């Protein structure tokens, strides 16, 4: 009876939520400008606000004139003061949390989450589920058990500010009505060693009625492989009522074939775009790619054309100025005190009514050793198209330039871990090269001009990428190996896993 009530209540809430959400979709561009001025007004007495003359800001242009784009290093001096317990620095009060993330250049990063910002992290996830329930007219998953493969919920405290991983912080805000359905146990969630943790999660969940599972694709695959290896069955046989997988963090498409094989049956997928800095977007149309940008969740967005990013005076576009099918560096101003913050993600709009995006890469993850500037979206789309022509199963891959090969032209080296190899690897390789040439004209010119030779594929041993991640202390949680790089730092470490 209780499950029946929860299911019907969820259907009612979901339909009301989606009706209300239609309002923000229609007025997104105007609401964004209003939001920015509201954020500026709230923070005008802060140290950052005084230093950047927030009092005089009356328009988006005023803001752009007074507040330059900056990354974590630019805001770090302010954040260091906040870490010492000082209030009124970036936001009116000290943050409720610091989401601690691992940085490649800055060491550990401490991303502030204010008491105003935290609810939107939860509302973003809730809205994704409500849209799914309303669109599918189905809330059966609330009757079973749910799991999120996440970091430890253990938090430390620094001058009254709680510090932890975002997924661990979010675990403390799961609504009460879902707590009884939630797995794994707190004790298991606190295990730091990722492999030991997944083994324990398998033990706790293998006999449960799992209906919703959430996590980033590589770690979902690891969990599913351990389950299928232990039980000798596909996931839909182990969990016949599994209805929904919620995923994010990386593009799902390159993992789709492997996931479908492990699942062994139909399971709905909802893709999301969360980060420590905010919950930005989720999939609201399950017939196509693209994520609905959340323009009313305390975040003002700006966009810099990827080709201009990093150049002095690069033009900062607002939501109403962006073009479709063009790559933009994502710039954030948030109700947690991040101002014109370059998060490092690259997005492209595929629709403006409503505003839907694809996450096409990272500003620091590209290959351009020869001027080609290949980005993640291009390599993932090239791989996707190649797999249609030459079926195979890919566990993971990484692309790096080989600049100085012995007595031959340089080339792109693809480190690929195959779950199932294509029937003809040479044809697969040729098609992959052809597809990347179609996606990137600069790369095509380099091949045509005999500056580069066609790509090389290096086959990797089973579990190579997991072993690499483990060797770097980055196995599990929200960690993922970059799909491509502009140097061979990762490639050199992957060499030992070549077949």
What is the rounded distance in angstroms from the CA atom of residue 218 to the CA atom of residue 224?
A: 10
Rama region for 13: left / alpha / beta (φ>0; ψ in -120 to 50; rest): alpha
Q: Is 411 helix (H, G, I), strand (E, B) or coil?
A: strand
Residue 311 — φ and ψ, nearest 5°? Answer: -85, 145
What is the rounded distance in angstroms from the CA atom of residue 216 to the CA atom of residue 226?
A: 16
Q: Angle at the Cα of 469 (from 76 to 103), degrees rounded to 5?
A: 5
Give all domains of the chain, ordered by start, each with its CATH number. 2-10+121-150+167-282 (3.40.50), 366-497 (3.30.300)
Instruction: Name residues whose C-beta falls within 8 Å of residue 361's C-beta, 6 or more positions apart in sequence.
Output: 327, 345, 346, 375, 376, 377
- Candidates 261, 221, 107; CA nearest to 465 is 221
What number of other Cβ atoms are within 10 A of residue 21's Cβ?
A: 18
pTM, whole model, 2 decimals?
0.81
What number of other Cβ atoms are within 10 A of residue 442's Cβ?
A: 13
* Sequential pLDDT tens for the chain (499 residues): 445 556 777 788 888 888 888 778 888 999 999 999 999 999 999 999 999 999 999 999 999 999 999 999 999 999 999 999 999 999 999 999 999 886 544 568 899 999 999 999 999 999 999 999 999 998 888 889 999 887 788 899 989 999 998 888 988 887 766 667 888 888 888 888 888 888 999 999 999 999 999 988 878 888 999 999 999 999 999 999 999 999 987 778 777 888 999 999 999 999 999 999 999 999 998 888 899 999 999 999 999 998 888 888 899 999 999 999 999 999 999 999 999 999 988 999 999 989 999 988 777 777 888 878 888 888 988 999 999 999 999 899 999 999 888 778 889 999 999 999 999 999 999 999 999 999 888 899 889 888 899 999 999 999 999 899 888 877 765 667 888 888 899 999 999 999 9
Residue 405 — φ and ψ, nearest 5°? Answer: -70, 160
Do the beta carbons of residue 458 and residue 382 sit within 8 Å?
A: no
What is the rounded distance in angstroms from the CA atom of residue 276 to the CA atom of residue 332?
A: 12
Residue 397 — φ and ψ, nearest 5°? Answer: -150, 165
What is the rounded distance in angstroms from the CA atom of residue 133 to the CA atom of residue 11?
A: 6
């Amino acid at each position: 009876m209780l499950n029946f009530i929860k299911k019907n209540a969820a259907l009612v809430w979901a339909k009301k939520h989606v009706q209300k959400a239609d309002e923000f979709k229609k007025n997104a561009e105007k609401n964004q400008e209003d939001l920015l001025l509201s954020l500026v007004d709230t923070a005008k007495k802060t140290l950052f606000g005084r230093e950047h003359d927030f009092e005089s800001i009356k328009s988006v242009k005023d803001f752009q004139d007074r507040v330059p784009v900056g990354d974590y290093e630019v805001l770090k001096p302010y954040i260091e003061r906040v870490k010492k317990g000082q209030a009124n620095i970036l936001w009116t009060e000290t943050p409720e949390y610091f989401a601690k993330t691992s940085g490649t250049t800055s060491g550990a990063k401490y991303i502030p989450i204010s008491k105003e910002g935290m609810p939107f992290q939860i509302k973003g996830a809730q809205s994704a589920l409500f849209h799914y329930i309303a669109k599918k007219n189905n809330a059966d998953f609330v009757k079973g058990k749910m799991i999120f493969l996440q970091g430890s919920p253990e938090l430390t405290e620094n001058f009254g500010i709680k510090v932890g991983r975002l997924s661990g912080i979010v675990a403390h805000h799961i609504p009460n009505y879902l707590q009884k359905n939630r797995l794994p146990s707190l004790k298991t969630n606190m295990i730091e060693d990722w492999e030991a943790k997944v083994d324990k999660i398998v033990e706790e969940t293998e006999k449960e009625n799992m209906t919703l599972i959430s996590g980033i694709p590589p770690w979902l695959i690891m969990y599913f492989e351990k389950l299928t290896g232990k039980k000798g069955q596909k996931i839909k046989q182990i969990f016949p009522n599994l209805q929904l997988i919620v995923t994010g963090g990386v593009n799902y498409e390159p993992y789709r074939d492997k996931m479908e094989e492990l699942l062994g049956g139909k399971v709905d997928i909802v893709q999301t775009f969360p980060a420590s800095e905010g919950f930005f977007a989720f999939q609201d149309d399950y017939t196509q790619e693209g994520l609905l940008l959340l323009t009313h969740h305390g975040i003002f967005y700006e966009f810099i054309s990827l080709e201009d990013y990093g150049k002095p005076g690069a033009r900062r576009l607002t939501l109403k100025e962006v073009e479709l099918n063009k790559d933009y560096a994502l710039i954030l101003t948030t109700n947690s005190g991040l101002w014109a913050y370059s998060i490092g993600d690259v997005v492209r709009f595929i629709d403006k009514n409503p505003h839907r995006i694809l996450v096409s890469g990272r500003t620091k993850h590209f290959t351009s050793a020869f001027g080609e500037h290949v980005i993640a979206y291009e390599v993932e789309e090239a791989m996707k198209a190649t797999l249609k022509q030459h079926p195979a199963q890919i566990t993971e891959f990484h692309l790096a330039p080989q600049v100085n090969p012995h007595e031959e032209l340089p080339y792109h080296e693809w480190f690929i871990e195959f779950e199932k190899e294509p029937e003809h690897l040479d044809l697969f390789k040729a098609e992959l090269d052809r597809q990347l040439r179609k996606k990137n004209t600069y790369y095509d010119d380099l091949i045509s001009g005999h500056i580069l030779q066609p790509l090389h594929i290096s086959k990797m041993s089973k579990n190579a990428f997991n072993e690499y991640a483990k060797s770097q202390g980055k196995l599990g949680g929200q960690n993922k190996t970059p799909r491509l790089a502009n140097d061979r730092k990762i490639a050199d470490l992957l060499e030992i896993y070549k077949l």
